[in-house]
Structure 1
Amino acid sequence: MSATGVVNVDDARVAYRLHGRGPAVVLVNGTGGGDGHWGDLIERLARSRTVVTLDYSGAGETTDNGAPLDLPTLARQVAAVSEAVAAPHVDLVGHSLGAAIATVLAAERPELVRTLTLVAGFLTAAEPRLKLTFELWRRLIAVDREGFIQILALTTLSDKFFASPLAAHLDALAQGILTGTNWEGLARQVELDLRVDIHAEASRVRCPTLVVGCAHDQIVTRARDLCDRIPDATFSEIDAGHQAYFEASEEFAAKFLTFADGLYSPRRLSSSVS
């Protein structure tokens, strides 16, 4: 199954897509992300799941009034899409800024989120390395977009990726980002990155949560802080960079499915993650 749709949320028309068939998993992009951001993970998960992807404000086909962004607004957009797919609840996967959005949604709408998986998530942008990174992004978006794409590749992908055959496609990927990005929307998302602080929301999450760290992440280096803040969360790590689900999609898919499907198999409905 493959379908598209739009939901109206506040002043935004939020575009979403469905892939595959089965229990719903909603993928929440990081800053500036789109479906291509997930690589072949969508295809892998769609073999047994309805994979829901969306463009929250600032990216893709979604349109809004251009106002500054905040986490509760974006969480409402993800919630509205989740409800539109007619799922009583969803497994929620968020990456980086998307992890912050997903955490807010899980805290505010516990009845909607069955499990929560956070990849390269961070508690606060006040952490010095993150603050410097986002400030650099903001400046490069304004004055040197090609430079922004280059620094993004250098800091989100590991040495292992650059040594792989996939590295030959970097120029084409970079050109696609340069011409296909909503740069004004991306700048709004980066401004939100700089304001992220989800200490309070993380402490209120009650659904089973898997926090995935990226061993060679040069952007988010303290994912364990997020895990420690969420009650009873489980931590796992992938030997890859900031976009571990892209570099190591098979490993990431296996971790997610083992966590979400194993936790809710008929024999383990009342079990907790070990």
Structure 2
Amino acid sequence: MEWRTDGADWPNNQFSRFVRHRPHYWHVQQAGAGPVVLLLHGTGGSTHSWRDMIPLLARNYTVVALDLPGQGFTRMGARQRCGLDNMSTDIAGFMAGEGLSPAAIIGHSAGGAIALRMAGRMDPAPGAVVGINAALSNFEGAAGTLFPMMARMLSLNPFTASMFARFTATESNVKALIGSTGSELTPEGLALYRRLISDRHHVDATLTMMAQWSLEGLQADLPEICVPTLFVTGDKDQAVPPRVAESAVARMPRAEHVRFAALGHLAHEEAPEAVAMSITAFLRAQGVG
């Protein structure tokens, strides 16, 4: 993605800035005032997935949303640092370098795993963590078949990203891919994902992340994460079913779970007001804001 061409109409672009903090060149959006809340998107997403949540949360918080390495508008500076542990370390370093200490971390899908990894290792720890359909196990359904396959292809074929971007980013294919997660997005939302998927650099970074992804360490550490945690799930999620959150709640000392019956994997994009209201209530109950 190129900011000079794609940034002109990118959601919340008025809040965007770019920061060089080793090893990456980060695209970050910052809005609002108050306690700092860090937003982390899922695999293959970008700050666009928070397009409606940022203005809502910015009423009470300093909201910081960033693009993961190589995805969206963040330029990847080190290919070997796209796994869970390395990204968690690099994001924590970026936040410290900017003088931003998150009072809460909110992550969607893989971003939820990153949020928990950061919470278990940061000093001081955030006051709360929220995982929206947090991907704490492998994807299921169509996504579970497609994503590992793409990661394997990446290791065998250096042209995979270009091929995928060229042949997959049709309107019908993007709609089907999003639909396979159990979510229904507006045409505008689908168009944003299509723009991302049609960019070979974004696809390459997404595949690189998936190829390096491992949840074993985080799964083993869940019982030791004492930060108050809220898991928000959609009952229609076909990628990360609610039972993943239920299992995590059973293993964590201070975790709870709220379910939305009519929403899928992209719950925060389908019903941003309802999800933001639930998150804000939880944060306030933890003394955040």
Q: TM-score range by the shorter chain?
A: 0.7 to 0.9
Q: TM-score, normalised by structure 1?
A: 0.82
Change (3 A) 1:200 1:236: same
The DSSP-based 3-state class of the residue aligned with 1:200 is helix
Number of paired residues?
258
Mapped to 2, the partners of 1:178 and 1:54 lie a distance apart of 18
Tell whether the 8 Å contact from 1:122 to 1:225 is kept in structure 2 after alignment.
Answer: no
Change (3 A) 1:68 1:105: closer
Mapped to 2, the partners of 1:44 and 1:231 lie a distance apart of 29
Choose from 106, 119, 122 the match for 1:109.
122
Q: TM-score, normalised by structure 2?
A: 0.78
Give the aligned partner of residue 232 of structure 1. 254
The DSSP-based 3-state class of the residue aligned with 1:33 is coil
Mapped to 2, the partners of 1:6 and 1:112 lie a distance apart of 23
Choose from 2, 25, 29 the match for 1:17.
29
Q: Does 1:75 align with 2:88?
A: yes
Mapped to 2, the partners of 1:209 and 1:174 lie a distance apart of 29
Mapped to 2, the partners of 1:240 and 1:124 lie a distance apart of 19
After the TM superposition, which residues 1-274 of structure 1 pair with which residues of structure 2 at under 5 Å, given as runs? 2=15, 4-9=17-22, 11-59=23-71, 60-67=73-80, 69-125=82-138, 131-138=144-151, 143=164, 144-146=167-169, 149-158=174-183, 161=184, 166=186, 168-169=187-188, 172-180=191-199, 182-193=202-213, 195-197=214-216, 198-221=218-241, 222-238=244-260, 239-264=262-287
Letter paired with 1:35 = T
Superimposed CA distance per residue, residues 217-253 of structure 1 (whole angstroms, 9 cap, x where no aligned partner): 0000122222222222011112301011110100111
Q: Which runs of 5+ in 2 are unaligned?
A: 1-13, 154-159
Superimposed CA distance per residue, residues 142-194 of structure 1 (whole angstroms, 9 cap, x where no aligned partner): 54423763442112343xx36xxx3x43663354234446121111122234x
RMSD: 2.8
Mapped to 1, the partners of 2:139 and 2:266 lie a distance apart of 21
Change (3 A) 1:171 1:71: closer
Tell whether the 8 Å contact from 2:70 to 2:205 is kept in structure 1 after alignment.
Answer: yes
Letter paired with 1:205 = I
Query: How far did 1:65 drift?
Result: 2.4
Mapped to 2, the partners of 1:234 and 1:226 lie a distance apart of 9
Query: How far did 1:262 drift?
Result: 2.6
Tell whether the 8 Å contact from 1:219 to 1:242 is kept in structure 2 after alignment.
Answer: yes
Letter paired with 1:16 = V
Superimposed CA distance per residue, residues 93-152 of structure 1 (whole angstroms, 9 cap, x where no aligned partner): 011111111111111115131110011113332878864342255469654423763442
Mapped to 2, the partners of 1:112 and 1:214 lie a distance apart of 27
Change (3 A) 1:226 1:17: same
Mapped to 2, the partners of 1:71 and 1:171 lie a distance apart of 27
Query: How far did 1:4 drift?
Result: 2.2
Mapped to 2, the partners of 1:236 and 1:225 lie a distance apart of 13
Q: Sequence identity of aligned pairs in percent?
A: 23
